[in-house]
Amino acid sequence: MAKNISSQTQQESLKVAKATQKPGQTKEQTKLIAQGIEKGISEYKKQQKVKARDRDKQRKQDLKNKHQVDEHIDESNRNLQTSNTPSPLMKGLPWILLVMSWLSFVAYELTIK
């Protein structure tokens, strides 16, 4: 039997091989069937490890992409916040316009009289 197969797998494969044993089947044939079952189990485990590794890689890639998108959104928000901040002149613009309109009104009234 293979070196890297656990004793539990060997026992389970032998149990399955004995359970499916046909009348007149020799012990050697049963052992060969058990080895085939062990090989199948080990191949299945290898496939599952590969799938788990691929899922983990995909999960990490998704997290990385999500992190990059979050950073991009944060940067965009910072840019919007800085671009929406009015300059000091713009803050005082309503007051300047109010004073100019009152001065214009007073000048108009003085020229009519």
pLDDT in tens, 11-65: 888 888 888 888 888 888 988 988 998 899 889 999 999 999 999 999 999 998 8
Residue 36 placed within a domain: yes
Residue 33 placed within a domain: yes
Domain assignment of residue 26, given as a range:
7-86
Q: Cα 80 to the chain's mean position, in Å?
A: 27
State the Cα angle at 66 between 63 and 69, rounded to 5°: 155
Rounded-to-5 percentages of helix, strand, coil across the chain: 85, 0, 15
Residue 106 placed within a domain: no
Categorize the per-residue pLDDT at 7 as very low, low, confident or very high, splitting at 50, 70 and 90. Answer: confident
d(CA 50, CA 56): 10
d(CA 97, CA 105): 12
Task: Determine what percent of the chain is predicted with pLDDT higher than 70.
Answer: 89
Our count of domains for the chain comes to 1
Q: Is the pLDDT of residue 80 over 60?
A: yes
Residue 57 placed within a domain: yes
Gyration radius (Cα) of the chain, Å: 41
Categorize the per-residue pLDDT at 1 as very low, low, confident or very high, splitting at 50, 70 and 90. Answer: very low
Residue 23 placed within a domain: yes
Residue 17 placed within a domain: yes
- How far are the Cα atoms of 44, 45, 47, 48, 59 from residue 56, in angstroms, in the given order? 18, 16, 14, 12, 5
Residue 104 placed within a domain: no
> pTM higher than 0.85, yes or no?
no
Instruction: Give residue-wise pLDDT tens across range 83-108.
Output: 666 677 778 888 999 999 999 999 99
